[in-house]
A and B are shown apart, each in its own frame.
Chain A
Amino acid sequence: MTAVMLALLVGVLFACGAYLVLQRGQIKLILGLGLFTHAVNLALFGAGVLTRGAPPIVPEEVEGVPQGADALFANYADPLPQALILTAIVISFGVTAFIVALVYRRDALTGSDLAPGELATVVNTADPFAEFTLRMKLPDAADDYDILQYELDEVYDHPEAEREVARE
């Protein structure tokens, strides 16, 4: 029963995570990834045999006697999934923190939580003023072409020098 509940929970978390990741907007993206990682961690947890109230120590009477897995797991909790989950949590925590930092930095640079290229693809939202609002959010974007150009501009090392050349 516990295993079925766990499987259902993992499925629901995956579905919610996928829905959120596919939404526009960075906060939803981060939350969706968080749900994804939780779902995978729970799936790992369910991968071990779920024994309640038993220590992760092989009982003495079972040791050496071929009684089969059922007898073993009656008084023994498998510690390996916890160890795996701990590693996975640390890694996903680090990556999520990195994404949050990236999003924050981009927000600070462009003054918007939308990627510049995304403006060109905003269509069919329920809000008729959505595109207008989005345009207002971006500071120096006159039209879609400008935004595309801005994405295409890959100038290294000497952006100031480049601008001087352009002015000439």
Chain B
Amino acid sequence: MSLHPTVITLPVAIPLLLGAVGMFLQFVQLPHRLQVQQTLVGVGVVVNLAVALLLLIFVLDRGPVAYQMGLWMPPFGITVYLDALSAIMLVMVGLLSALIFPFALATIDSERAQLGFFPMMLFLLMGANGAFLTGDLFNLYVFYEVMLMASFVLLTIGGTPSQLNGGIRYVVLNLVGSMMLLLAAGVSYGTLGTLNMAHIAVRMNDAPYLVQAIIAGLLLIAFGAKAAVFPVFFWLPSSYHTPHPVVTALFSGVLTKVGMYSMFRVFPLFFPWLLNSWQPLLMAIAGLTMVVGVLGAFAQPTIRRLLSFHIISQIGYMVMGLAVAMTPNPYGIGFGLALAILFLVHNQIVKTALLLGGGAIELEMGTGKLNELGGLVHLKPLQATVFFIAAFSLAGFPPTSGFIGKLGLLEVTFSSGQWVIAGVSVFVSLLTTMSMIRLWQYIFWGKMHRKPLAMRQQTAPNYSWMTVAPVIVLVVLSLALGLAAQSALNVVQTAANQAIDRAAYVKTVGPMLTEQDLRIAPPEWGLTNALPATELAGR
């Protein structure tokens, strides 16, 4: 199989073109404008998913591939880079948007649809795909902003007072986070003289420690703010419960995970040695993120407020996996990163399933307050079952994907000698289980306090299978990921190996470097052109 390298820009081009046409339709008088628009968006998400799957198969077969926009030589043009890590993220985000689309079709009210909800979904998808594919730091900032602008609109569309409140907090804190990313790009250009990520990786080898620390710190704050890690997570619980439930599900599957992806991409590429020397800091961030998130979830009175705090808590596990990514352990360098990627994929599936399932209940009952729900297990046995499986997958019970992810992360942290964080993560898993039991029990067990809207009102809509089917698909995926864990592990291991292989990244992007520039890693890491371990320890 051979692909022309321009194909890897399709995940940006398809949503951009269809989204632009969809937005244009807003201003045209057509008899069936909304239907045409929705068809366009449906075609867009399906084609995007198909292209992403194709790219994943290609990359797993052939290894990473790069394309220079306009055929400018690197580092002068914008590089587009695709490896297994970006391809996995493309597939996951494409899959989630394709599954959320029917849910949105069924539940989005006509006012929000008239205001252009559906094209905005495509713009969000385009921004996320661009952030996965770009090989240029400034371009990454631009795609972040594209994604954020679409998310601002999705968050505030409808304009209820609580949405505006949440929206202002969200916009302000994300703007400050983006400023940090922009500043990191500026510092990189001012000190290293380049914005191309491969070129930065090469020049970072000889950069003074101060420059490394400033760039790493700014990037940590910027991506941490997007991923909602401990000190900079406040925007998430104050805004995610306000929009339509579809939007919350879409955000939890896409936005915070783009921040995590950027960390996975940038840290092993630019400064893998900092992952070791800054390990205590990363561990502290991971532990506090987990604990604060899960404790915050206990105090929450509504379904989506509770699940928002669990998003934060689960991010901590991924940071933990990243922190041990470069630590030598019996499974090999990069195994921690592989498991962090697996956990990311698992979390995208399960969290979206929970938020869609909870959102459907919230829409059908007219409220998300836990103390007003209850006893729905008799009325909706299917929804109760899938919600139960998803909840316990989040908590980490076998045979679901959560079990594999958490077991692997525990194994790799233990064997790397990080006992404290491993203990914290076990404790947090216990608290997550308790929180999930509380959530399921409040919604589905006990006495029924109120009936669904459809049973009380003639006018209230009765949502069809389109709200249940995506959740079922996601839960089946979670089970499949747990049962076929070995195949999944092979894929994420390939992705992690490609992500930590700096020499391959630089070679794929361009020939702007000499061979001795490719001093990458100590010999025991098994990478090419290795730097002696003593020299690495000195960094």
Contacts and interface: CB of A to CB of B under 8 A. Distances in A.
Q: Could you say which interface size class chain B belongs to?
A: 35 or more
A99 B171 CA distance: 7
B457 interface: yes
B164 A105 contact: yes
Contact of A115 (B159, B165, B366): B165
Interface string A30-45: 0001001100100110
B366 A91 contact: no
Q: Which of A48, A91, A157 has the most CB of B within 10 A?
A: A157
A52 interface: no
A117 B165 contact: yes
Given A44-B182, A156-B362, A102 B149 contact: no
Contact of B460 (A80, A88, A151, A158): A158
A129 B145 CA distance: 42
B179 A109 contact: no
Interface in A53-93: 80-81, 84, 87-88, 91-92
B159 A151 contact: no
Contacts of B152: 95, 98
Nearest to B245: A156
A162 B366 contact: yes
A99 B172 contact: yes
Contacts of B109: 156-157
Interface stretch (B17-25, B186-194, B260-268, B497-505): B186-194
A158 B301 contact: no
A141 to B, nearest CB: 12
B232 to A, nearest CB: 14
A155 B168 CA distance: 20
Contacts of B301: 152
A156 B457 CA distance: 14
Interface residues of A, number: 45
Contacts of A151: 162, 165
A40 B185 CA distance: 10
B313 interface: no
Contacts of B175: 33, 36-37, 92, 95, 99
Contacts of B148: 95
A135 to B, nearest CB: 17
A103 interface: yes
A46 B367 CA distance: 52
B534 interface: no
A158 B453 contact: yes
Given A116-B161, A151-B162, A158 B459 contact: yes
B257 interface: no
A155 B459 contact: no
Contacts of B156: 102
A95 B149 contact: yes
Contacts of A106: 161, 164-165, 168
A154 B367 contact: yes
A33 B175 CA distance: 8
A103 B164 CA distance: 8
Contact of B179 (A36, A103, A155, A158): A36
A21 B168 CA distance: 12
B190 A46 contact: yes
A165 B183 CA distance: 52
A46 B162 CA distance: 41
Interface in B131-183: 138, 142, 145, 148-149, 152, 156, 159, 161-162, 164-165, 167-168, 171-172, 175-176, 178-179, 182-183
B393 interface: no
Contacts of A40: 179, 182-183, 186
A98 B186 contact: no
Given A154-B304, A161-B460, 8 more contacts: A29-B172, A44-B183, A46-B190, A80-B189, A102-B167, A155-B367, A156-B363, A161-B459
16 contacts: A29-B172, A37-B179, A40-B182, A47-B187, A87-B142, A91-B145, A95-B152, A99-B175, A152-B302, A154-B302, A154-B368, A155-B367, A157-B109, A158-B366, A161-B460, A164-B457
Q: What 4 pairs across the A-B complex have the smallest Cβ distances?
A: A47-B190, A44-B186, A106-B164, A47-B186
